[in-house]
Chain A
Amino acid sequence: AQRVTQPEKLLSVFKGAPVELKCNYSYSGSPELFWYVQYSRQRLQLLLRHISRESIKGFTADLNKGETSFHLKKPFAQEEDSAMYYCALSLSGAGSYQLTFGKGTKLSVIP
């Protein structure tokens, strides 16, 4: 069965420092990977998708099939990046609606 692992429950970084939120997955096929974010007192929202190869709010994520990872990175953290981040996986060909989520990492950016 597919699984998503986010090894860090909490990650604290100083403002301006680089950020890397780790995500590893286990799935034998070709998955689609996503990052979702939930800011304080706001709703969960889609941040980015690996197939779009986009940069959102300065964040990027590259799918590394060899290491089965999809780490979320930002070169310079901002205070407004503090939030809960969830990595999610969907099975290729199965429709992206049935996502498997990791348990999340709480990012705290220290001013």
Chain B
Amino acid sequence: GAGVSQSPSNKVTEKGKDVELRCDPISGHTALYWYRQSLGQGLEFLIYFQGNSAPDKSGLPSDRFSAERTGGSVSTLTIQRTQQEDSAVYLCASSRDTGNQPQHFGDGTRLSIL
């Protein structure tokens, strides 16, 4: 396919609103990752989906963050009651095999909280 697809590419919203970010991984890839990159920082791990197993949510910064992956394919990352510190680029990646490092990244969603 065309690679990992993320939408929207840009999102501007007011503090306190909920946002939903979407990731469409490469077809057939069992592993899906969410990372985020704040300005001037390295990538920060958020969550990892590995096939049908329970996801590793250990990187989610607060209970305002949640993610799901339906049917082993598309994933949505939801941020409730957004705060200004949530502003970042949210990157999704997928890999064919589980347990490995992310290999194919999307273009990311640039989230700006006013």
Q: State the A residues within 8 Å of B (CB).
A: 4, 32, 34, 43-46, 49, 86, 88, 90, 95-104
B residues 71-103 with Cβ under 8 Å of A? Answer: 91, 93, 95, 99-103
Q: Interface 1/0s, chain B 53-66, versus A by CB < 8 A?
A: 00010110000000
A95 pairs with B3, CB closer than 8 A: no
A43 pairs with B42, CB closer than 8 A: no
**For the complex of A and B, 5 pairs with smallest distance between CB atoms:** A101-B42, A96-B101, A101-B43, A44-B105, A97-B48
- What CA separation (Å) do A96 and B50 show in the bound complex? 12
B107 at the interface (CB under 8 A from A): yes
Q: State the B residues within 8 Å of A (CB).
A: 3-4, 31, 33, 35, 40-45, 48, 50, 56, 58-59, 91, 93, 95, 99-107
A-B contact count (CB 8 A): 65
Given contacts A99-B43, A102-B42, 10 further A-B contacts (CB under 8 A): A43-B106, A44-B43, A45-B105, A88-B101, A96-B101, A97-B95, A97-B101, A98-B48, A99-B101, A101-B43
Instruction: Name the CB-closest residue of B to A49.
Output: B101
Q: Given A96-B99, A97-B31, answer yes or no on A103-B59 (Cβ-Cβ < 8 Å).
A: no
Instruction: Name the CB-closest residue of B to A46.
Output: B103
A104 pairs with B103, CB closer than 8 A: no
Q: Given A34-B101, A95-B99, A97-B99, answer yes or no on A104-B107 (Cβ-Cβ < 8 Å).
A: no
B43: chain A residues at CB < 8 Å are 44, 86, 88, 99, 101
A97 pairs with B100, CB closer than 8 A: yes
- What CA separation (Å) do A97 and B45 show in the bound complex? 8
- What CA separation (Å) do A96 and B41 show in the bound complex? 20
Q: Closest CB-CB distance, B47 to chain A, in whole Å?
A: 10
13 sample A-B contacts, Cβ–Cβ < 8 Å, listed by A number: A4-B42, A43-B106, A43-B107, A44-B105, A46-B102, A46-B103, A49-B101, A88-B101, A95-B99, A96-B100, A97-B50, A97-B99, A103-B40
